[in-house]
Amino acid sequence: MSSSTAEFSGVGVFIEQRAGAIQEASLQLLGEGRKLADKLGVKLTAFMVGHRIEGIVYEPIYYGADRVIYVDNEACSHYNVEVYTQVLAELLMKYKPEIFLVAGTKYGRELAPSVAARLETGITADCTGFDIDERRNLVQIRPPFGGRVLAYIITPTKRPQMATARPNVFPTPPRDEGRRGEVICEEVSLVKPKLELVEFRKAALEELPIEKAEVIISIGRGLDKSDYRLAYELCRAFANSSVGCSRPLVDQGLMPRSKQVGQTGKSVRPKLYIAIGISGAVQHIAGMKDSRYVVAINKDPNAEIFKFCDFGIVGDYREVIPQLIEALKGGR
Amino acid sequence: MLNMVVGIKWVPDTADVRFDPVRGTLIREGVESIINPPDLNAIELALSLKEKYGGRVYVISMAPPAALKGLKMAVAMGADKAILLTDRRFAGADTLATSYALAAAIKKVGSYDIVIFGEETIDSATGHIGPEVGEMLGVPHVSYVKSVLNVDVASRVVELEREVEDGVEVLRSKLPVVISVGVGINSPRYPIPIRRLRAEVEADKYVETWSADTVGADSNRIGLQGSPTRVVKIIAAPMIERRREVHQHSREALSLLVRRLKEWEVL
Amino acid sequence: MAVQREHLFMVPGWDVSLHYVLMALALALTLYGVYRRFSMYGVKLIDLPSTLRGRLGLALRSEARLLRERYGGLMHTLMVAGLIALFVGTILVGLEHDLLMKVGQRILVGDAYLAFEFALDLAGLLFVVGVLMAIVRRVFFKPDRLENRGEDVAILLLLLYGGLSGFVMEGLRLASPAFSHQPWITASFVGYAFSRALLGLSVEDVYPYVWASHSLAMAIAIPLLVYSKLRHFPLFFLCPTYSLRELKAPFNLDEVLRGRKLDFKVGLESLDALSWGLRLSLDACVKCGRCQDACPAYRANKVLSPREVVRRLGGLMMAGGRGEAGSALREEEVWSCTTCGECVVTCPIFLNPMRYIIEARRHLVTNLGRVPTTALFNVMIMGNPYGLPRSEKRSWMKGLNVDYAKEGEEVEVLLWIGCAGAYDARAQRVVKALTSLLARLNVKFAVLGEEECCGELARRLGDEVLFQEVVKRNAELFKKYSFKALVTLCPHCYNSFKNDYPEFGVRLNVKSHVELMHELAASGRIKVGRALDAVVVYHDPCYLRNYNDVSSEPRGVLRAISGLKLVEAAKHFCCGGGGGGSWIEAEGVRMNVQRLEDLLEAKPDMIATACPYCIGMFEDALKSKGLEGKLEVKDVCEVLASALG
């Protein structure tokens, strides 16, 4: 990349769509992008890739973008990292935004570094905050080491300055159908990828995934496996709720990985997090510390979890949970 | 026959790392280092593929000499050779500079079919290395791999499964390919103790040390020099202030909890 | 007729010649057998004298162990006592005939002779009764534990014949005209009874043939001392003792790293890799099966039998297999063992069946890496079998309010918290109880905080490399501090520090927490304030009782508590937690439930023990039986703490 920094202007955000559904995480980043664009006094551009997406290309405008640049091609109908990397790399070389944000979905966390390497530029993963410094650099704020510290990172000389952010870190901006903007359809020449999709097996969504739940009932080693049903019963007492767990239960094959909260599992930010039989190890706290309210139930009065809770009950869950369920039924 | 290269990272046991708010730095002394846990799953995958298809497994780490302990552990698990990529000039590298160095080393290894990394590390947790190395090698890369379904060595095609939020993708790729695997996709085998001794006593047979010059790395693209991103400062993460209202279990305590839940508008 | 021994009475010359020929053949066969077997074991002759010295001292203790079972013990004592007396008698007869009489002397005369005859008849009678008891047991009772083959009964019948034919011969002699009217022949009371029945027979015609048959029986019996289970008798004295406390390492890590040579064998990769004593031991076993009866794994699942381990390996050795021993033992057997050592403390001839399991584990793990639990990987990486971060231990300990050891300052007691104490919620409560107890009793103690695992699990599971690495690390740690005694609250840590570490030059003054409490109680430092009205059954942790003979101290502490009624379970059995038992998923019937049932038979209000594994196992068993909350399981220090009020 021989272009100099000065040639890059504007904030770009990748709007990920799957089968015509725009990912909320991308819209959340669009909201942040809007703030950054306003601070810098530059345009906010949404970039979209897909097939037969004309129906949704105006959406980013309603959520705050000044313009949308998209590629509509059969080769892009389902996400493919080689194709999407090539498309984005070309678009970014053409439109040269100084900042390019990608939502940290599974695809995003793979696509973004791929594009960054292609463009030989800097990228920061899983940001929880952004700012602009006095030199108009993007300040990328992220929590390494299990979230006990915050690192402030800049990309002083390379462009675009790239970053990803996980879903639900930023709020979804309001949708304003009154907004207007430019929509540009681009053509890109595509190489045949060496990687192709054979099959996509959609997961049966029996339950709300924990990262989308408003209330999480989380279980730990302190529970006997024959008592897990108590957690599910308690879960039913709340709306928009899901059962999660700590790592040891997944390691022992007692619960699926999709339910693991923690450093090597998922980071969740529900409104209410009820931790049952969880000691409060650092790696677990890392995954749920941003919950709005935390309730802890544990037999051991010295369990670490009580330091991270708003309300705690020291007692045997086998007594507490059934009584709590009763109390909740009565309370309505 | 499959030639595999596994990249591992020697990381501090992050749960033990503390932060010095006065100096604004991380306190790493006295903290044990370990092989990044998903990297153990990466090694295990490589070894299982070797058992199935034959071939060899090299393990590589861009790290200070202390990482030899982890590399020897990988040899004890069954890796044929371990390569320590070490050089003062690598210091301060961000993911791009690290990926550049690793890619240079993999090219130096020569023939490779599958490169495997752990999905992300427990310290920086970026998930960048797999995709960036893939890009630099000019080969396809796949993250979040759950399992390798089949390798057709003759046609040089691999079929694998990877997990995304709403389902599982079955992908087919030409070799060579770079893949990143998550923790828990398999059970890493125990490093064979007698082999650990062998890796120590016959280290020259099993371990090689390469520098930036060995792999012909461009010094502008490695270390701090080659890192487009830079950490400006580190602060202690602000934690949400918790009320810490802890009670012994009783009917009254439960009624109080229900009251709070109502106050918080979660009911 | 003079009151004296008539040597070779009625024995014609051809008979004596035949006797010498038979004895010569028997001796030749025996010597050949000894040579073949010694080659098979690979005996180092130079080691034999010291082995013999050590074993002579065990002879009486061996009989004592046998007598733990009334029938089997009595039967054997009768046989052995009888045989020894008869043997001594034979020596005396031979002495008189072949030496003394040549110089015109006799000792078996007059009253001495009568006493001699009485004693030998009594001995013979006891012997025959013993043999009959043994035959009855094998033919009618057929206990499960006893390997019972046709050959075994045949040997007993041979011995019976030897005994009975001896009496028949005596009867014939006493029925002969020369003696039948002598009044003093009643001293040989059994022979006398036989003689009454044999009066009228033409004894001189019959006697030579009976004598020849007796000689033949002996000529068959003597080689059987090499070729059959009777082998256990001579081998008892030639078999080195492998005590629970001395588990030698197959190599020294420091030497290996220094010398940079891997020229040693580890574990049961082949019978070759064992010491000669362990091979000889396989042959000494008579398959009495008392070890099987004592084995908790056998009781639970019948998957593992120490008797079968020895039998199969012995069979492999006999078949000439010095090679691949792996096929002899299945992995599920090897991993069922809890290393409780009950088989070792039960074996009447002081064999160590468990040692073969340990050697098999060493081969499986050190050589092949086949370990059945992630606990060891956790010890390697995280410093504890739970796989929990070191910081979690530090933060828990903040709530303890104890002093930390400081370099350069000597403490009386350095308390080793152990991994269970650091990471397991239940064991943490025991640590709390002990530390507050010690504080109340003004015992000056300190803790380390930075320690990791003691390594015991690595040794018991067979990873000698990891074990020695941990020992090295702990040796460095201990060098930094100065302390009079190291006190542990886990018997496994205790045993390892006390018995495993010295081989590597780490000699510590180790005390178990129950020994410390006992000392404090005995010296009067403990004034038990409150009485504890409870029936308490004490369960001995195997690593205190079997490995270290610590069983009276904890009982002493409990007895010092007024109102506490101490009851005992009928027998000792392992809880199932040791040797990796807590870390390996068990299939089928669980040992901890069976042991709990043993304890419940004593109708206790409370179970007291002194090991975190035992506590965990019993609480788990109570849950399985739906008895949680109905009965408490407590560590001895917790019982003591509550009694102090």
Strand partners, C482: C410
CB contact under 8 A, A299 and C392: no
What pLDDT sits at residue C295?
96
Contact C307, C346 (CB under 8 A): no
pLDDT class of A331 with cuts at 50, 70, 90? low
CB contact under 8 A, A116 and B172: no
* Nearest one of C262, C358, C274 to C322, comparing CA atoms: C274
* Nearest one of A184, A148, A153 to A70, comparing CA atoms: A184
What pLDDT sits at residue C319?
87
CATH 1.10.630.10 fits C13-231, yes or no: no
- For C375-521, CATH number out of 1.10.3470, 1.10.10, 3.40.50, 1.20.80 equals 3.40.50
Q: Looking at chain A from residue 136 to 165, which residues have their Cβ under 8 Å from any Cβ of chain B?
A: 139-140, 143-158
Give chain B's end-to-end CA distance (angstroms, integer). 60
**Which residue positions in chain C have pLDDT lower than 50?**
none
**CATH superfamily to which C524-644 belongs:** AF0625-like (3.40.50.10700)
A275-307: pLDDT as tens digits? 999 988 877 888 898 899 999 999 888 888 998
What pLDDT sits at residue B241?
85
What is the ipTM metric for this complex? 0.91
Contact C217, C164 (CB under 8 A): no
Closest-CA residue in chain B for C266? B194
* Nearest one of C485, C536, C538 to C512, comparing CA atoms: C485
A112-147: pLDDT as tens digits? 999 999 999 999 999 999 999 999 999 999 988 877
Contact B84, B30 (CB under 8 A): no
Kind and range of the H or E element at C456?
A: helix C456-461
Of C261, C366, C374, the CB nearest to B194: C366
CA dist list (Å): A149 to A168, B142, C62, C145:
20, 30, 67, 64
Interface test with B, best of A5, A164, A195, A298 (most B CBs within 10 A): A195
Tell me the Cα Rg of chain A: 22
CA dist list (Å): B232 to A120, B222, B225, C322:
21, 19, 15, 67
Give the number of other Cβ atoms within 10 Å of residue C435's Cβ. Answer: 22
Determine the Cα–Cα distance for residues B37 and B10; give it in Å rounded to an integer.
10
Of C388, C389, C399, the CB nearest to A302: C399
Of A222, A299, A304, the CB nearest to C395: A304
B33-75: pLDDT as tens digits? 999 999 999 999 999 999 999 999 999 999 999 999 999 999 9
Largest CA distance in chain A: 69
Contact C515, C541 (CB under 8 A): no
Boundaries of every domain in chain B? 2-210
CB contact under 8 A, B14 and A146: yes
Average pLDDT over residues A25-51: 97
C161-189: pLDDT as tens digits? 999 999 999 999 888 888 888 888 888 89
Determine the Cα–Cα distance for residues B113 and B157; give it in Å rounded to an integer.
10
Residues of chain C with CATH 3.40.50.10700: 524-644
What pLDDT sits at residue C475?
96
Residues of chain C with CATH 1.20.950.20: 13-231
What pLDDT sits at residue A168?
80
Is the per-residue pLDDT at A65 higher than 80? yes
Distance from chain centroid for Cα B218 = 24
B169-225: pLDDT as tens digits? 999 999 999 999 988 789 999 999 999 999 999 999 999 999 999 999 999 999 999
Distance from chain centroid for Cα A150 = 18
- Sheet containing strand C606-609, edge to edge, reads C564-567, C534-538, C606-609, C632-635
* All domains of chain A in start order, with CATH: 5-186 (3.40.50.620), 210-331 (3.40.50.1220)
What does the DSSP assignment read for C465-509?
Answer: HHHHHHHHHHHHHHHH-EEEEEEESSHHHHHIIIIIGGGGT----
Q: Encoding tokens for residue C47?
A: 């080691």
Identity of the residue numbered C459? R
Question: What is residue A204's three-state secondary structure?
Answer: coil
Based on the number of CB atoms within 10 Å of its own CB, is C47 exposed (0-12), middle (13-18) or buried (19 or more)? middle
What pLDDT sits at residue A332?
47
Identity of the residue numbered C360? A
Query: Which residues in A lie closer than 8 A to residue C396 (C-beta atoms)?
Result: 302, 304
Q: Per CATH, which fold does C253-367 belong to? A: Fumarate Reductase Iron-sulfur Protein; Chain B, domain 2 (1.10.1060)
Strand intervals (E) in C5-157: none
Q: How far is B48 from chain C (nearest CA, A)?
A: 15
Interface test with C, best of A302, A317, A318 (most C CBs within 10 A): A302
The dihedral built from the CA positions of residue A19, A24, A28 and A31, taken in this order, carries a sign that is positive
Contact C37, C317 (CB under 8 A): no
Query: Which residues in B lie closer than 8 A to residue A147 (C-beta atoms)?
Result: 237
Contact B160, B170 (CB under 8 A): yes
Residue with more model confidence, C423 or B227: B227
Please state the three-class secondary structure of C406-450 as a single string. Answer: CCCCEEEEEEECHHHHHHCHHHHHHHHHHHHHHHHCCCCEEECCC
- Mark B203-218 as b/e (b = at least 16 C-beta within 10 Å): beebbbebebebbebe
Residue with more model confidence, A241 or C200: A241
Question: What is residue A44's three-state secondary structure?
Answer: strand
Residue located via tokens 């051809």: C14
pLDDT class of A1 with cuts at 50, 70, 90? very low
Give the class (CATH, top level) of B2-210: alpha beta
pLDDT class of A250 with cuts at 50, 70, 90? confident
